[in-house]
């Protein structure tokens, strides 16, 4: 692949965007990311995915020059990007975005499709599309309000002004902020903590949390109760309870 690399180790995949100087999202990156998702779907033992950028940025936007070439053509880049990002959001293992430098425009929209976002304190986070006379097209207008609320989403999108990593944490857009040199160690530690859990439990949680946005509270509660009963019958649940009683760490078999 030309723009992305990935490796899988200890139930964790690590995807790296390598498209200098800005890791700007292009049709090539979207295509290769889609191909990687195809390959990772076959990794049945996978429990977490880290997404990061090489160089100075996570991803400082979309490839605007390429966008203008597609404008008016048969291929709609927005639909293409949204399809890939939807796959990330619905993936069977949680995606963790490790953001340094900047996540702007399409780069932030990519991060918004992940289940968690960890940032450096000085990172620039925003959707600057209106400064170019366009609007977000990879889901920014729909996902951003879920994390920061309508009023703040309007402010960020309409002013096109970025916020810092620390501000992103304060408004609920990012989980935690770290110093630049601490970010990857912290993210890998978090991914390892997730990977130590039972895979069936992880997968059920990934199905349940979206109910908050897609169904009524009553439906969500019924779905949770049903899935709780299903998980409670697994071998891992028996091991977890037994380990708790015996005051030891559980040894899950992902069954």
What CATH number corresponds to the domain at position 27?
3.90.226.10
Closest CA to 129 of 205, 25, 226, 39: 25
Question: Do 66 and 43 belong together in one domain?
Answer: yes
Q: What pLDDT, on a 0 to 100 scale, did the predictor assign at position 127?
A: 98
Residue 253 lies in a domain: no
Residues 182 and 101 in one domain: yes
Q: In this structure, are 116 and 232 located in the same domain?
A: no
Q: 45 lies in a domain? A: yes
Indicate whether 163 and 129 sit together in one domain. yes
pLDDT tier at 74, thresholds 50, 70, 90: very low
- Which residue did the predictor score with more confidence, 254 or 170? 170
Domain for residue 42, yes or no?
yes
Domain that includes residue 216, residue range: 199-245
pLDDT at 64: 74
Q: What are phi and psi of 116, to 5 degrees?
A: -145, 150
For residues 178 and 52, the answer to whether their CB atoms sit within 8 Å is no
Helix (H, G, I), strand (E, B) or coil at 118: strand
Rounded average pLDDT over 40-65: 92
The whole-number pLDDT of residue 11 equals 97
Confirm whether 254 is domain-assigned. Answer: no
Is 14 a member of any domain?
Answer: yes
Same domain, 146 and 80: yes
Which pTM does this prediction carry? Answer: 0.94
User: Has residue 154 got a pLDDT over 60?
Assistant: yes
Q: Provide the CA 16 distance to its chain's centre, in angstroms.
A: 13
Q: What is the pLDDT of residues 83-99, one digit of tens each?
A: 999 999 999 999 999 99
Q: What is the CATH number of the domain that holds 214?
A: 1.10.12
Looking at residue 73, what is its pLDDT? 54
Catalytic residues: 109, 129
- The pLDDT of residue 65 is 73
Residue 63: pLDDT above 80?
no
Residue 251 belongs to some domain of the structure: no
Q: Which residue has the tokens 């019924």?
A: 222
Whole-angstrom distance, CA of residue 41 vs CA of residue 49: 11
Average pLDDT, the chain: 94
Q: How many domains does the chain contain in total?
A: 2
Same domain, 168 and 215: no
Answer whether 97's CB lies under 8 Å from 115's CB: no
Work out the percent of the chain whose per-residue pLDDT is above 90: 89
Q: Are residues 184 and 230 in the same domain?
A: no
223-232 tens-digit pLDDT: 999 999 999 9
121-136 pLDDT, tens per residue? 999 999 999 999 999 9
The answer to whether 97 and 116 have CB atoms below 8 angstroms apart is yes
Q: What is the mean pLDDT of residues 223-245?
A: 95
Q: Is residue 255 part of a domain?
A: no
Q: Are residues 21 and 118 in the same domain?
A: yes
Any domain includes 137: yes
The tens digit of pLDDT for each residue in 172-223 reads: 999 999 999 999 999 999 999 999 999 999 999 999 999 999 899 999 999 9
Report CA-CA distances (Å) from 40 to 11, 47, 198, 249: 11, 11, 18, 28
Do residues 147 and 29 both lie within one domain? Answer: yes
pLDDT computed for residue 1 by the predictor: 82
Domain identity same for 72 and 124: yes
> Is the domain of 171 the same as that of 234?
no
Specify whether 96 is located in the same domain as 116.
yes
């Amino acid at each position: 692949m030309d723009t992305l690399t990935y490796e899988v180790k200890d139930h964790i995949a690590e995807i790296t965007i390598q498209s200098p100087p800005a890791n700007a999202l292009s049709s090539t990156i979207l295509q290769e990311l889609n191909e990687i998702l195809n390959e990772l779907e076959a990794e049945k033992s996978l429990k977490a995915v880290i997404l990061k950028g090489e160089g100075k940025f996570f991803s400082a936007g979309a490839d605007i020059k390429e966008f203008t070439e597609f404008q008016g053509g048969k291929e709609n880049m927005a639909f293409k990007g949204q399809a890939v990002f939807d796959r990330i959001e619905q993936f069977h293992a949680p995606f963790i975005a490790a953001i340094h430098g900047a996540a702007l425009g399409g780069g932030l929209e990519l991060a918004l499709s992940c289940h968690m976002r960890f940032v450096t304190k000085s990172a620039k986070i925003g959707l600057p599309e209106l400064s170019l006379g366009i609007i977000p097209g990879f889901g920014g207008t729909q996902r951003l309000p879920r994390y920061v609320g309508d009023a703040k989403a309007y402010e960020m999108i309409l002013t096109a002004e970025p916020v810092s990593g620390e501000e992103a944490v304060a408004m609920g857009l990012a989980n935690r902020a770290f110093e630049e040199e601490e970010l990857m160690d912290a993210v890998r530690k978090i991914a390892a903590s997730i990977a130590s859990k039972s895979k069936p439990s992880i997968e059920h949680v990934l199905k349940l949390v979206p109910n908050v946005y897609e169904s009524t509270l009553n439906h969500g509660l019924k779905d949770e109760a049903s899935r709780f009963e299903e998980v409670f019958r697994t071998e891992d649940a028996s091991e977890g309870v037994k380990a708790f009683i015996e005051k030891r760490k559980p040894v899950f078999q992902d069954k």
